[in-house]
Amino acid sequence: MRFFRRLSFSLVGIGLVVVGLMIASHSRASAAPSNQAPSNASGILPAQATVTPTLGAPSPLPPNFQSISNETCLSCHSNPNLTMKLDNGDLLSLYVSPDVYGHSIHGEKGYACVQCHTTVGNYPHPAFSAADQRDVSLKLYPLCQRCHSSQFQLTKDSIHAAAQASGNRNAAVCTDCHTAHAVRQLTDPQTGNLLPETRIWIPQTCAQCHYAIYQQYSTSVHGAALLTEGNPDVPTCIDCHGVHNIENPTTAAFRLRSPQICAKCHTDPKIMDKYGISTQVLNTYVADFHGTTATIFEKESPDARTNVAVCYDCHGVHDIQSVNNPKTGLDVKQNLLARCQVCHPDATANFPSAWLDHYIPSPQKYPLIYYVNLFYKVFIPTILGGMAILVLFDISSVIRKRASFVSRIWLKLNREKSAEASETPQTPASETPPSLKREDSDTTEEENRD
């Protein structure tokens, strides 16, 4: 019976230790610092931290070009009627507005036309032909790499370059976004951060190709704040998708990494505290089943398809709305249930009740859950500690009993040896052996004869 009692205590103790470790692990995940910047393996820069591109040194002009000023070029190209006929019969305008170019970043920095158009210094110009206007852009945009080589190399890894390689001639190139002669200053020369007007200009530029997405973004909580209020805290296109090395957002890898993209802003207390938004979004998501699964997939199988929910499955992609929106906001229980039922069609009205809105329970937020957690944080260590003490006492009792048993056996053996020794006959110490008596008598007789 004592054996079974000890075994039961040991099993209960081990079980409680396992439960305690699980709760401790969950607590560490929930209490992890929320303001740590997540890893930026995708190369996407956080809001307001876009770095000014580093310009390469312009290639030196040939000696016969060094005397060709912009005024020389504009003496012809300032004519609005100057055109060139393309192979398909379309007319390509060769007009360059002196005022537009003069106010561009290239014009303000004094760059000469011939630093880009290095083959047209002499007149008549060398022959140039293009199938159509799009072909003109595709033939001329590689000129940008002469000064912007690092940015140009990044574009080669972008989804736009991949689309071009697959035969899509309309995929964006440098001049589709930056234009040819009206290239603007995008960043603050002192800080390297995007200028406020640039953040508004970016989605408007992307809208040239992605107009339907722009329409969704412009009415979202992010887009409306940026485009109508000029709020610099909300993300613009490049904060999520990158600048020149824009990756394919439809891949499994992008999907699994998307929580980290959202976390760049939503774990920043400098931004979130202004609006009373929890900065625990990433921690609470990772501690949840959905986030744990997504994290495992991201580390072990980043290219594997999974239907586990990520941020935009619940909040939307480009049409993200405020959680307080009565029609779509997830703070409205019915709206949250509808979202849950997309993946969990059998979810009932009580299904969303377990969700804590990305908040860690506190005396102010979900106090009941907070105090229950606090109780268990005290109760479980106390129980585990008590069980551990009982187990130690039980083990020490067994050790003492074993030691007592061994000592009794040892004492018994010693007593038996002593008894055997006492039963063996021994010669008294005061009695002289017979042989010695004979020797003494012989010695006495000899002495008498003498």
User: If you write DSSP's letter for every residue of 134-189 in order, what string do you get?
Assistant: HHHHHHHGGGGGGT-HHHHHHHTTSHHHHHHHTT-TTS--HHHHH-SS-----B-T
Gap between the Cα atoms of 332 and 330, Å rounded: 5
Task: Supply the pLDDT for residue 53.
Answer: 45
Task: Supply the pLDDT for residue 178.
Answer: 96
Task: Supply the pLDDT for residue 216.
Answer: 96
Q: Which residues have CB under 8 Å from 180's CB, separation 6+?
A: 140
Task: Supply the pLDDT for residue 45.
Answer: 39
Beta bridge partners of 194: 187
297 torsion bin: left (phi>0), alpha (psi -120 to 50), beta (else): alpha
Gap between the Cα atoms of 140 and 11, Å rounded: 76
Task: Supply the pLDDT for residue 213.
Answer: 97
Task: Supply the pLDDT for residue 37.
Answer: 38
Task: Supply the pLDDT for residue 430.
Answer: 52
Gap between the Cα atoms of 435 and 165, Å rounded: 126
Gap between the Cα atoms of 136 and 102, Å rounded: 23
Cα 301 from chain centroid (whole Å)? 15
For residue 278, which of 41, 38, 30 has the smallest C-alpha distance? Answer: 30
Task: Supply the pLDDT for residue 328.
Answer: 83
Sign of torsion over alpha carbons 52, 43, 182, 84: positive
Q: Report the half-sphere exposure of 297 (CA within 13 A, side-chain side).
A: 23
Task: Supply the pLDDT for residue 428.
Answer: 54
- 268-295 exposure pattern, b = at least 16 Cβ within 10 A, e = fewer: beebbeeeebbbbbbbbbbbbebbeebb
Gap between the Cα atoms of 219 and 227, Å rounded: 9
Tell me the DSSP string of 183-230. ----B-TTT-PBPHHHHHHHHHHHTTT-HHHHHHHHTSHHHHHHHHH-
Residue spans of the chain under pLDDT 70: 1-67, 356, 424-450
Asked if 235 and 47 count as a contact pair (C-beta separation under 8 A), the reply is: yes
Gap between the Cα atoms of 320 and 366, Å rounded: 26
Task: Supply the pLDDT for residue 24.
Answer: 47
For residue 141, which of 127, 112, 161, 125 has the smallest C-alpha distance? Answer: 161
Gap between the Cα atoms of 180 and 172, Å rounded: 13
Angle at 119 between CA 116 and CA 122, to 5 degrees: 115
For residue 278, which of 199, 355, 373 has the smallest C-alpha distance? Answer: 355
Cα dihedral value 266, 272, 277, 280, nearest 10 = 50
